[in-house]
């Protein structure tokens, strides 16, 4: 049975090369699961489902702007790295958003795409993870962190990823331990059990309703020199940005159309959009763009902080004053935001109800 890692350390969003006083300051690196556990912030559950709130980013912004009283944010901030070279509102999961809502994205290319689709107020501010500083200096060279594919709120992975877990088990002797990051929706699920059955250690990864989630993930990345995966995702960029060496190896996982169409397609995704998402997951596409990270072993993983800084939009990070302006946190912004919300709510109430018929075969 593997060891399960739970958070025990208070949140910190202003990390530095100096360790927080509660961290392990008397050793050069961590060696046991218990020591790793002490590096991670304590989970801080909250309620809220807007994009800017997910993974605790709104709490991070409150700290950056030194707000003693939390204010409502009248904006959406795109989470997660979208590596599609041709972004659109749909690809950025903003297709159904009213065009007068303020949106913050990571790059000028994404901003231009939204402007072309009628969005009236956009900012380029980098990805939320770029605002999380280094949390500690205890990076292990002899342990491996692995990211299997994970479920999402509307796309549940029901397989155990046995081929990938077999692969990780086959290289277990190359490391002191292999830790598998388990997304909260997969905790105690097939992937979790498959990892434990093979003597791999498990560590709970990100969850959207944890105010310390972004800090937790940065703390985890800061604890490993080597990170690997069999699928592309934001973890790739976050690991590189944190200074890790990253590799894509082992049996590669590619999301299938049925992963998005399960449960009668509750997100009402068009097949064209699903095919687009899957196309940028294909090995030939990924190898053409990120070929040096495809290796025969995690021991051959590559680091590239410069690439990660460009992709994550570090140079576009907003100042506290710019954040207050973008989120409508000034007195004028709050008044305008509440007024606009009231108008939208009134308009929705006036619309006639339309019965949506769901094809049971979809």
Residue 4 backbone dihedrals phi, psi, to 5 degrees = -105, 135
Alpha-carbon radius of gyration of the chain = 21
Cα–Cα distance measured from residue 240 to residue 310, given in angstroms and rounded to the nearest whole number: 11
Name the nearest CA neighbour of 157 among 189, 179, 180: 189
Cα–Cα distance measured from residue 319 to residue 51, given in angstroms and rounded to the nearest whole number: 20
Q: Which pair of tokens denotes residue 28? A: 């050069």
Residue 269: predicted pLDDT: 59
Per the CB < 8 A criterion, the answer to whether 184 and 207 are in contact is: yes
Listed in order, strand segments (DSSP E) in the chain are 4-5, 75-77, 102-105, 122-124, 140-147, 177-182, 201-204, 224-229, 245-248
3-state secondary structure of 249: coil
Q: What is the pLDDT along the chain (362 residues), one digit of tens a residue?
A: 443 433 333 333 333 344 343 444 445 789 999 999 999 999 899 987 788 999 999 999 999 999 988 899 999 999 999 999 999 999 998 998 999 999 999 999 999 999 999 999 999 999 999 999 999 999 999 999 999 998 877 677 778 899 999 999 999 999 999 999 999 999 999 999 999 999 999 999 999 999 999 999 999 999 999 999 999 999 999 999 999 999 999 999 987 776 666 655 545 556 777 788 888 989 999 999 999 999 999 999 999 999 999 999 999 999 999 999 999 999 999 999 999 888 888 877 776 654 544 444 43
Vertex 284 angle, CA 174 and 279, to 5°: 115
Residue 278: predicted pLDDT: 85
Q: What is the pTM of this model?
A: 0.85
Residue 351: predicted pLDDT: 67
Per the CB < 8 A criterion, the answer to whether 254 and 278 are in contact is: yes
Residue 151: predicted pLDDT: 84
Q: Which pair of tokens denotes residue 329? A: 């946190």
């Amino acid at each position: 049975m593997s060891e399960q890692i739970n958070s025990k350390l208070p949140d910190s969003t202003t990390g530095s090369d100096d360790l927080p006083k509660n961290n392990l300051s008397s050793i050069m690196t961590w060696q046991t699961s218990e020591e790793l556990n002490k590096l991670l912030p304590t989970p801080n559950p909250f309620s809220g489902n807007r994009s800017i709130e997910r993974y605790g980013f709104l709490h991070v912004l409150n700290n950056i702007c030194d707000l003693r009283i939390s204010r409502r944010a009248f904006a959406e901030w795109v989470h997660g790295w979208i590596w599609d070279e041709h972004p659109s509102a749909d690809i950025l999961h903003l297709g159904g958003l009213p065009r007068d809502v303020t949106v913050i994205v990571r790059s000028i290319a994404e901003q231009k795409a939204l402007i072309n689709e009628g969005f009236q107020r956009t900012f380029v501010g980098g990805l939320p993870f770029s605002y999380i500083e280094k949390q500690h200096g205890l990076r292990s060279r002899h342990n491996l962190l692995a990211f299997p594919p994970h479920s999402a709120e509307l796309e549940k992975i029901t397989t155990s990823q046995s081929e990938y877990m077999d692969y990780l088990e086959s290289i277990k002797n190359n490391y002191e331990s292999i830790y598998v990051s388990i997304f909260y929706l997969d905790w105690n699920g097939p992937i979790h059990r498959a990892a434990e059955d093979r003597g791999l250690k498990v560590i709970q990864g990100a969850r959207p309703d944890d105010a310390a989630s972004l800090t937790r993930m940065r703390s985890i990345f800061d604890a490993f020199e080597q990170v690997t995966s069999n699928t592309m995702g934001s973890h790739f960029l976050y690991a590189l940005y944190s200074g890790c060496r990253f590799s894509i190896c082992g049996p590669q996982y590619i999301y299938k159309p049925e992963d998005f169409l399960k449960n009668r397609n509750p997100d009402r995704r068009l097949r064209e959009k699903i095919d687009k998402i899957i196309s940028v997951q294909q090995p030939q596409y990924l190898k053409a763009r990120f070929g040096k990270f495809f290796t025969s072993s995690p021991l051959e993983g590559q680091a590239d902080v410069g690439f990660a800084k460009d992709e994550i939009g570090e140079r576009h990070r907003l100042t506290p004053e710019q954040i207050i302006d973008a989120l409508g946190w000034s007195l004028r912004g709050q008044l305008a935001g509440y007024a606009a919300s009231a108008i939208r709510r009134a308009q929705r109430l006036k619309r006639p109800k339309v019965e949506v018929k769901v094809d049971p075969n979809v």
